[in-house]
Amino acid sequence: MAKRIKEPRIALYPAPVVLVSCADVQGKLNIITVICAGIACVKPPIISIGVHPWVYSHSLIESTGEFVVNIPTVDILAKVDYCGSVSGREVDKFKETGLTPVPASQVKPPLIEECPVNLECVVRQILQLGIHHLFLGEVVATHLDETLMDANGKVQGEKCNPLVYLYLSRE
């Protein structure tokens, strides 16, 4: 198999696409689409999300120390794209997309009802990397839509229908 050497790049694929819900200290809600997300640790459960420091959601997550990772399905692709295309400084993304905020059990930011998996997170560490800051959030509650599970409560992967991003090249 012939291979070419290219400049260093992110070549882990597919990558999950997630909607991260957050809120400011007064309770104003926001949603950001994140493609730099992953599992950082299994025990305790830690999720990582990479967020540009200049975006609105960064300041919300940093100031409150909380966020929710919501795993969308392909059914809401247009809404996910919209949430990654406009700033929450000027737009109420819940209102504009029709996504439904649902109170979380452990953190102030809401779950997104239309996402079958929601991970409530408390920030444990922020790493300042290159163009992203990496938020490491401990998962303090997990919500799973019952339609994803079999009779024994085991998640059936084929029912999840998640969005993924192929981040290999923009050339």
Q: Give the mean model confidence (pLDDT) for residues 115-140.
A: 97
Q: Classify residue 121: in a domain, yes or no.
A: yes
Q: What's the rounded Cα separation, in Å, for the pair 145 and 116? A: 5
Q: Classify residue 4: in a domain, yes or no.
A: no
- The half-sphere exposure of 38 on its side-chain side, counting CA atoms within 13 A, is 9
CATH number at residue 66: 2.30.110.10
Residue 35: domain span: 15-162
Q: Which carries the bigger pLDDT value, residue 53 or residue 167? A: 53
Q: Classify residue 167: in a domain, yes or no.
A: no
| 108 pLDDT more than 70 | yes
Dump pLDDT digits (tens) for 17-44. Answer: 999 999 999 999 999 999 999 999 999 9
Q: What's the rounded Cα separation, in Å, for the pair 27 and 139? A: 21
Q: Which carries the bigger pLDDT value, residue 155 or residue 63? A: 63
Q: Give the mean model confidence (pLDDT) for residues 9-19.
A: 83
Q: Classify residue 70: in a domain, yes or no.
A: yes
Please report the pLDDT score of residue 169 as a whole number. Answer: 56
Q: Classify residue 46: in a domain, yes or no.
A: yes
With a threshold of 0.75, does the pTM exceed it?
yes
Q: Classify residue 169: in a domain, yes or no.
A: no
Q: Classify residue 130: in a domain, yes or no.
A: yes
Dump pLDDT digits (tens) for 53-102. Answer: 999 999 999 999 999 999 999 999 999 999 999 999 999 999 999 999 99
* Pairing of the two strands 117-128 and 37-41: unpaired
* Total structural domains within the chain: 1
